[in-house]
Chain A
Amino acid sequence: MNKFKIGPFLFILSFCLLALIVLNIFIGAVRVPVNKMFEPGFFEILKLRLFRALLAVAAGSGLSVAGIILQTVLRNPLAEPYVLGVSSGAGLGAVIGLLFISLGIGVNIAAFIGGVVTIFLVYKLAKIDGRMSPENMIVAGIIVNGFLSSILMFFVSNSSSGNIHSVIWWLLGNLQVYKIAPVLILSLTSLAGFLISFIFSKELNAMSLGEEEARHLGINTESVKIILLLVATFVTSLAVSICGIIGFTGLMMPHIARRLVGPDHRLLLPTSVLMGAIFLLLCDIFSKVMMAPKEIPIGVITSFIGVPFFIYILKKSRKVYFK
C-alpha cells in the first residue's frame, strides 16, 4: 500500500473505532434505555462504561506500539511486550503492592517500578562487549521472566483467600477503572509512544534489514535501540500496572497490520495502533456479553479470540497488500 491509499484506509479504521466505542458504552450487564440515558443512575453507568472503553483504546494502542518496537528491534517476529519479562516484573510489583502496601495508587506505582526494574535487569544480563544483541536480550528476558513468575506464583499460592481474588483478577486483565486519571495517563503515554516511534520510522525500517546494514545507513543503532526499548517498556509497564496482564495484543496486531499495509513503519504504526484499540474494544464486548451478567477477564478473551484469528490470518495468502 502506498502513502496515498493509506489515508482512506485509516479513516475507515478510525470510524470503526468510534463505532465500537459507542457500542461498548451501550453494552453491559444492565440494560440502559436510550430515552432514560441522562437519569443519574443510568448516566453513572454510561460514564463508567466510557472510562472502560477509553482505557481499552489506550491499552490496545499502547501494547501494539510496544509490540512493533520489540519485533523490529529484537528482529524477532514472535516478540511481544511480555517477552522481556516486563509482565512478570510489573505483575510481581503489583502483587507486592496489593499484598503489602494496599494503597490504591501504590499498586500501580509498584507495578510500574517492577516493569522498569526488570528491563534494566534484562539489559544488564544481555550486554556483551558494550553492545546488546537481540538474541541475548531474548534469552535474558526468558530467564528473568521465569524467575519472576515463580516468585509471583509463590505469593499467589501463599496469600489469604481474600487477597488471592484480587491478585488473580489482576493477573487476568481488567479494563474497568473508576477515575478518569488512569485513562488519561495511559492515553497520553501511548500517544507519546506512538509519536516517538513514528519519528523513528526510517530507523526502524532500516533496522529490520539488520544491525550492520542499519549502521551502514548511518543509524546509531545502540542509541536508537535504547530509546525505543525504553519507550516500549514504559508503555507496557504502565499498561500492565493499570490493566493487569492482557496478552496477545502486542504480538498479533503488528502481524495483522503488516499483512494489510506492509512492513513500512510509517504505515504500520498508525494501522497497528488503530487495530489494537479496535481489537480490545471487541474483546471487551465479548467479555461483557458472553456470560452476562458475569464478566470474563479480558486477558482470557484476548487469547481465546486471538489465537483462532491469528491462525486465520496466517493461513491466508502471505501478502494481502493493497496496491
Chain B
Amino acid sequence: MFYFSDVWAGYNNFEILKGISFNIEKRDFTGIIGPNGSGKTTLLRTATKIIKPFKGEIFLEGKNIANMPLKESATVMAVVPQDTVFMFPFRVIDVVLMGRIPYINRFGFESRKDLKIALEALEFVDALHLKDRFIDELSGGERQRVIIAKALTQKPRILFLDEPTTHLDINHQAQIFGLLKKMNRVSGLTIVAILHDLNLASDYCDKLILMDNGVIKRKGSPTEVLDYKIIEEVYKTVVIVKENPLTLRPHVFLVKK
C-alpha cells in the first residue's frame, strides 16, 4: 500500500537516508525503531512530503507521492507529531476541525457534516467532554488524544506518528497505545509510528523496521528484528532478549555493567 523504493534523502545536500526500501501492507501496524540520529525522523519527513528525496521514489496506493498535490495527500495521510506547541489558545473543537481543512474549498466554511466528523473523532479518542476546553489547559495525554482526533478527521488511510508517547506517563502511554490498537484493529487504519521504546514497539506492532545510520538494518516481525546480536550492534550496548509472558513478544533488557 505504501512503499519506499531505494530512497536517498537529507538536508542541504547532506545525505541522511541512504537507499531505503520497504513496503507497508494495508492494516499493518509498523514501528520504526533505532538509535538517535539513525534517520527515523528524516524518514517520516520524507514519507509525509516535508522534504523531497534526492533519489528514489515513494508510492502510496500505487501513486507516486511526488506527483500528488499537497491537498490530496492530506486526505490520504495524516501525521501526529511528537508534541504540538500552540502559539495561541484555540478551543479543542476548533483544533480538531482543522483536520477538515483539506476537504473545504477556498471560500467555504465547515459544514454540519464536518462538525459531525470532528465530534465523532473526539468521541473515538474519548475526549468529547473536552471539546469546549482550551487546548493549552489540557494535560499532555489529553492534548495528544486531541491531536490524534484531528488527524482522524482527515479521514486518512495511513497515519504516521512521531514518538507519540515520549513525553507521557505510563498510564497515558497505555491509553494512547490502546487507542492506536483500536484504530488499527477496529477501523482498519494503517499505522506507521516512530517509537522510542523497543518493548512497547514489540508488544503493539506487527512489523518493525530497525534503522541505523540511514540504512535499514533489519525489518520484519518483532521476533525477527529484536535479536540480541542485532540490537547490541546497533545500540552498542549489551542486552538480553526474553519473551514477555503477557504478550508473548520479545522484550529487550539492558545488562548492567
Residues of A within 8 A of B (CB): 72, 75, 77, 129, 199, 202-203, 205-206, 208-210, 212-213, 215-220, 258, 262-264, 266, 318-319, 323
The answer to whether A210 touches B85 (Cβ under 8 A) is: yes
Q: Give Cα A262 to B95, complex, Å.
A: 12
CA distance A266 to B97 in the complex (A): 14
Cβ-defined contact, B84 with A210, below 8 A = yes
B107 contact from A75, A199, A212, A264, Cβ within 8 A:
A199
**A205 CA to B150 CA, complexed, in Å:** 14
**Given A212-B50, A264-B90 in contact, is the A218-B84 Cβ separation under 8 Å?**
no
A-B contact pairs, 17 of them (CB 8 A): A77-B87, A202-B104, A203-B101, A205-B90, A210-B81, A212-B50, A213-B81, A216-B48, A216-B74, A217-B102, A217-B154, A218-B71, A218-B73, A219-B70, A220-B70, A262-B90, A264-B90
Chain A residue numbers with a CB within 8 Å of B49 are 215
User: Quick check: A209 and B98 within 8 Å, CB to CB?
Assistant: yes
* Interchain nearest-CB distance for B134 vs A (Å): 7
Q: Say yes or no for B106: interface residue by CB 8 A criterion.
A: yes
B70 near A215 (CB under 8 angstroms)? yes
Q: A149 CA to B26 CA in the complex, in Å?
A: 60
CA distance A72 to B87 in the complex (A): 9
Complex: how many Å from CA A212 to CA B73?
14
Partner of A218, one of B86, B101, B107, B109: B101
**B89/A319 in contact, CB under 8 A:** yes
- Across-interface contacts of A258 in B (CB, < 8 A): 88
Please encode chain B, from 129 to 173, with 1 for each CB lying within 8 Å of some chain A CB and 0 for all others. 000101000000000000000000010000000000000000000
Given A129-B11, A216-B79, A263 and B74 contact (CB-CB distance below 8 Å): no
Does B91 touch A at the CB level, under 8 Å? yes
Identify A209's interface contact among B73, B75, B86, B134, CB under 8 A. B86
Verify if B72 is at the interface (C-beta below 8 Å from A): yes
- On B, residues with C-beta under 8 Å from A are 11-12, 45, 48-50, 69-75, 78-79, 81, 84-91, 94-95, 98-99, 101-102, 104, 106-107, 109, 132, 134, 154
- Output the nearest chain A residue to B12 by Cβ-Cβ distance: A129
Total inter-chain residue pairs, C-beta < 8 Å: 76
Smallest beta-carbon distance A48→chain B, Å? 40
For the complex, give the distance between the alpha carbons of A203 and B104 in Å.
11
A77 → chain B closest CB, angstroms:
7
Given A206-B98, A319-B134, residue A263 in contact with residue B89 (CB < 8 A): yes
Bound-state Cα–Cα, A264 to B89, Å: 10
Contacts of B75 in A (CB 8 A): 218
Closest to A218 in B: B74
Contacts of B101 in A (CB 8 A): 202-203, 206, 217-219
Chain B residue numbers with a CB within 8 Å of A199 are 106-107
In contact, A217 and B99 (Cβ under 8 angstroms): yes
Alpha-carbon distance between A220 and B154 when the two chains are bound, in angstroms: 17
CA distance A198 to B164 in the complex (A): 34
State the Cβ distance, A322 to closest chain B Cβ, in Å: 12
* Residues of the B chain whose Cβ atoms lie less than 8 Å from the Cβ of A323: 132
Which A residues touch B84, using CB under 8 A?
A: 209-210, 213
Provide the bound-state CA to CA distance between A146 and B114, in Å.
48
Q: How far is the CB of B140 from chain A (nearest CB, A)?
A: 17
Report if A218-B50 is in contact (Cβ < 8 Å); known contacts: A75-B87, A258-B88, A262-B90: no
Q: How far is the CB of A59 from chain B (nearest CB, A)?
A: 25
Known contacts A129-B11, A212-B50, A213-B81; is A263 also within 8 Å of B106 by CB? no
Contacts A202-B104, A220-B70, A319-B134 given; does A212 touch B81 at CB 8 Å: yes
Residues of chain A within 8 A of B85, CB atoms compared: 210
Closest to B108 in A: A202
Are the C-beta atoms of A264 and B94 separated by less than 8 Å?
yes
**Neighbouring A residues of B107 by C-beta, 8 Å:** 199
